[in-house]
């Protein structure tokens, strides 16, 4: 099992690189929908520390009186239909009736694991692995108050309660805990009901241009964004190229303005409306479903993400700046189909010798110059 505490209990969250799970609760469905094979407990064992969860309410049966259950979902938000909020029986609240909005997904969407099951697995993981932590990033939801109630009830004493920037919390502070993160829409809906970071519901804020970091913000602050155009670049290589371009640009935006404590979130994912997510994922991670060398991942876009965050006066190919390469790595690498191989690769980015990082950058720089030289020669007019 991958143990991040080995990096040192004094390490802050913003000091380490760890894996995140994209659409973490979608372990079934058609090939163009499924994003994970493992449940939350097994993903955590494989090294995932941040879970992207999108939660919706759905009836278990077609009967109008059927109880409502909260589950993970994956679908194009533009095609998702939210039904009018009505007084219904919510199975996950012990059969209590309350106002709830149910969701109808398009044909190419899918529901995944139940929220209560995912929370129990997260709680069990930190219970049996007392040096570790988990972050649950909940987004694109309705029924925020119901979700908050279920999270606080199911996680109990495992819930992390404190104030201040989560980015600066140490592994010693976070260990044995599950952190629940709501995006601003969710925070706005539940704050008036007493759900604050001090009671276990934290904020999660994306800094679009990298500015605005505050040590006093009760939550996670990051730069980065997932999702390429679902209709753009339907071929495997087209989607991959589109993702590399987008991720590099986002990291560059953050690099220009971000405080060192701002966390970079890089999405190494390629979901779309067509074809198999698993097949594209295998292509991205190379032979045997994983990168065979740091150079491959660097060439495929990770290097651009690192270099774009470096200060302008720091050269990635200078050995004396090797330590800086680690500092400016994206902190969270979001993946589809999390497994132990991907988890190990991402974890080892924390322990790579700085000389190896620099050597990799030098190899890429040499290859780029060679390619540029060949391009110029091809553009020269022929003498014959």
What pLDDT, in 10s, does the model give residues 44-67?
Answer: 999 999 999 999 999 877 666 789
Contact 200, 239 (CB under 8 A): no
And the tokens for 279? Answer: 């097949």
Spell out the per-residue pLDDT of the chain, length 384, in tens: 999 999 999 999 999 999 999 999 999 887 788 889 999 999 999 999 999 999 999 987 766 678 999 999 988 777 788 888 999 999 999 999 999 999 999 888 899 999 999 999 999 999 999 999 999 999 999 999 999 999 999 999 999 999 999 999 999 999 999 999 999 999 999 999 999 999 999 999 999 888 899 999 999 999 887 655 544 445 555 555 565 566 666 555 555 566 889 998 888 776 554 456 676 666 666 554 344 556 766 766 677 777 777 777 778 888 877 777 777 778 998 999 999 988 998 998 888 887 888 888 888 778 777 777 765 665 554 432
Taking the C-alpha atoms of 71, 330, 296 and 334 in order, what is their torsion angle to the nearest 10 degrees?
0
Q: Give dist(CA 239, CA 280) in Å, integer.
A: 8
Estimate to the nearest angstrom the gap between the alpha carbon of 271 and the chain centroid: 13
Counting Cβ atoms within 10 Å, is residue 295 exposed (0-12), middle (13-18) or buried (19+)? Answer: middle
The domain spans of the chain are: 13-375
Q: Give dist(CA 351, CA 361) in Å, integer.
A: 17
What pLDDT, in 10s, does the model give residues 202-242?
Answer: 999 999 888 899 999 999 999 887 655 544 445 555 555 56
Domain 13-375 has CATH 3.40.50.300: no
Query: 92-104 burial, b for 16+ CB within 10 Å, e for fewer?
Result: bbeeeebebbbbe
Q: What is the mean pLDDT of the chain?
A: 84
What pLDDT, in 10s, does the model give residues 307-349?
Answer: 777 777 778 888 877 777 777 778 998 999 999 988 998 998 8
Residue 107 is given by DSSP the state: T
């Amino acid at each position: 099992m991958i143990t991040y505490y080995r990096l040192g209990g004094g390490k802050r969250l913003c000091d380490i690189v760890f894996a995140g799970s994209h659409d973490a609760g979608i372990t079934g469905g058609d090939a163009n929908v499924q994003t994970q094979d493992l449940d939350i407990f097994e993903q955590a064992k494989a090294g995932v520390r941040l879970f992207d969860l999108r939660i919706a309410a759905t009836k278990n049966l077609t009967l109008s009186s059927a109880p409502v259950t909260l589950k993970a979902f994956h679908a194009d938000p533009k095609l998702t239909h939210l039904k009018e909020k009505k007084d219904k029986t919510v199975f996950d609240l012990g059969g209590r009736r309350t106002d709830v909005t149910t969701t109808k997904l398009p044909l190419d969407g899918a529901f995944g694991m139940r929220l209560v099951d995912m929370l129990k697995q997260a709680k069990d993981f930190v219970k049996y692995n007392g040096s570790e932590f988990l972050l649950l990033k909940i987004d694109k939801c309705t029924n925020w108050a119901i979700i908050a109630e279920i999270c606080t009830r199911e996680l109990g004493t495992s819930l992390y309660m404190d104030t201040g920037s989560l980015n600066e919390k140490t592994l010693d502070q976070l260990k044995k805990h599950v952190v629940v993160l709501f995006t601003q829409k969710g925070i706005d809906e539940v704050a008036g009901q007493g759900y604050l970071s001090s009671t276990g519901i934290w904020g999660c804020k994306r800094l679009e241009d990298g500015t605005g970091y505050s040590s006093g913000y009760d939550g996670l602050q990051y730069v980065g964004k997932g999702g390429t155009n679902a209709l753009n670049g339907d071929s495997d290589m087209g989607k991959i190229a589109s993702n590399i371009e987008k991720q590099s640009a986002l990291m560059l935006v953050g690099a220009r303005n971000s405080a060192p404590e701002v966390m970079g979130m890089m999405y190494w994912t390629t979901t779309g409306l067509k074809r198999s997510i698993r097949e594209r994922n295998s292509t991205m991670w190379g032979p045997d479903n994983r990168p065979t060398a740091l150079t491959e991942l660097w060439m495929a876009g990770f290097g651009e993400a690192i270099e774009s965050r470096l200060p302008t006066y720091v050269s990635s190919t200078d050995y004396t700046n090797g330590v800086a390469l680690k500092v400016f790595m994206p902190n969270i690498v979001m993946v589809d189909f999390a497994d132990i191989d991907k988890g190990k690769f991402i974890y080892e980015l924390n322990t790579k010798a700085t000389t190896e990082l620099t050597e990799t950058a030098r190899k890429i720089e040499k290859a780029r110059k060679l390619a540029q030289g060949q391009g110029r020669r091809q553009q020269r007019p022929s003498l014959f």
